[in-house]
A = this chain, B = another copy of it.
Amino acid sequence: MSGHPDGPGLPLVIDTDTAADDCFALLVGLLDPRADLRAITMVAGNVGFDQQVENAFLTLELAGRAGQVPVHRGARQPLVQPWISAEEVHGDGAGGLRRTGDDRPDAEPAQDALVRLAEQHAGELTVVAIGPLTNLALAVRRDPAFASRVRELVVMGGSLNGRGNVTPAAEYNIHVDPEAAQIVLDAGFPSIRFVTWDPLSLQHAVFDAGRIERIRRLGTPLGDFFVRANQASFDFDVAMGVGGSVHCDTLAVLLALDPALAEVERRYDVAVELAGTHTRGATVFDWHAPRGGNATAIERIDGERLFEYVLRLLSR
């Protein structure tokens, strides 16, 4: 039950540091008939780069889409600074599961694939970035026309003048590559929509123990995968004082397919702090938007609808 590569779905690329919630976000792109996922592009982030590639292929297998969507390898480290691991959060990001097939990544680098697909689907391509923005930044610098050809970029990253996670001030995806994030914000994308960590995801995208239990009771292979791959980050987030695991990556892909999920949104001038001693990687959303706004923050979603969607997705 998929077969929409040639269907009327939204041409989509997911740029991902595949571990845990990234896997579930890929499932949305792979299984939702509204999506026509043209490529998965890999970026240095959560866990070791090669492990991330394995996790992407594993997810393709579990979705029954092995061999149908190319996986392109991109930046193995952030633009300027060294890689910052989040393995203490995610473990291997797949709950120890291993794929059975032996598909290989596409030879085309991620930045080239992004540039090519934006050209092929000019004005129609949606990119959902659920890892650090290194690949996007490299595509922007590779082709000055790239950004203008992307219909919409959905970014999971940053906080709306709120708290971070990896530091008090910075969310992981932006903290890992602040320069890349700034490049993307300056690039002239026609539309950037932000799914932030705080407050949006902390308020509306947390799956508590009760929700996880409901997923477990599905008894489906995808449900079992979810519970298993999610365990490490669930435990970590709970230890950090969050009431469950946070499904911001999944939310980002769903929002690309279902914009109406957003109940409130607002336009801002967004900048990334590149120079701070304590705040490097913080996202600063200026509500005055003196430069006219370069991005839109999703400020409220229907979190129950997100959970019900995931439940349905995993029940197949």
Question: How many Å lie between the Cα of A251 and that of B247 in the bound state?
Answer: 37
Residues of the B chain whose Cβ atoms lie less than 8 Å from the Cβ of A141: 75, 77, 79, 134, 138
Interface string of A132-151 (1 = CB under 8 A from B): 00100010011010000000
Q: A29 contacts the other chain (Cβ, under 8 Å)?
A: no
Interface of A is mostly: loop
Comparing A212-220, A222-230, A280-288, the segment that makes contact with chain B is A280-288
Given A79-B141, A142-B111, A161-B162, A284 and B278 contact (CB-CB distance below 8 Å): yes
CB pair A168 B179 closer than 8 Å: no
Q: Which of A2-10, A84-92, A123-131, A268-276 contacts B (4 or more CB under 8 A)?
A: A268-276
Q: Is A311 an interface residue (CB 8 A)?
A: no
CA distance A183 to B179 in the complex (A): 12
A100 within 8 A of B: no
A292 shortest CB reach to chain B, Å = 16
A87 to B138, CA, bound (A): 27
* Cβ-based interface call for A109 (8 A): yes
Given A109-B142, A142-B111, A179-B80, answer yes or no on A285-B161 (Cβ-Cβ < 8 Å).
no
The answer, among B76, B179, B277, B287, for a CB contact under 8 Å with A79, is B179
A285 to B198, CA, bound (A): 15
Indicate which residue in B162, B167, B275 contacts A276 across the interface (CB closer than 8 Å). Answer: B275
With known contacts A75-B141, A80-B182, A169-B161, A279–B285 Cβ distance under 8 A: no
B278, A277: Cβ atoms closer than 8 Å: no
Q: In the complex, what's the smallest C-beta–C-beta distance from A223 to chain B, in angstroms?
A: 33
CA of A279 to CA of B162, assembled, Å: 12
| In the complex, residue of chain B having the shortest beta-carbon distance to the beta carbon of A82 | B186
Query: What string of 1s and 0s marks CB contacts (under 8 Å) between A156-174 and chain B?
Result: 0000011110011100000
What is the CA–CA distance of A126 and B46 in the complex, to the nearest angstrom?
Answer: 36
In the complex formed, the residue of B with least CB distance to A275 is B275
A87-123 interface (Cβ within 8 A of B): 109, 111
Given A169-B279, A272-B278, A273-B279, 12 more A-B residue pairs with CB atoms under 8 Å apart are: A79-B79, A79-B179, A80-B183, A111-B142, A138-B138, A161-B163, A162-B163, A168-B284, A168-B285, A168-B286, A275-B277, A278-B282
Interface set of A (CB-CB < 8 Å, partner B): 75-77, 79-80, 109, 111, 134, 138, 141-142, 144, 161-164, 167-169, 179, 182-183, 198, 241, 271-279, 282, 284-287
Q: 22 A-B contacts, Cβ less than 8 Å apart?
A: A77-B144, A80-B80, A80-B182, A80-B274, A134-B141, A138-B141, A138-B142, A161-B162, A161-B163, A162-B163, A169-B284, A241-B287, A273-B278, A274-B274, A275-B276, A276-B276, A276-B277, A276-B282, A278-B282, A278-B284, A279-B282, A279-B284
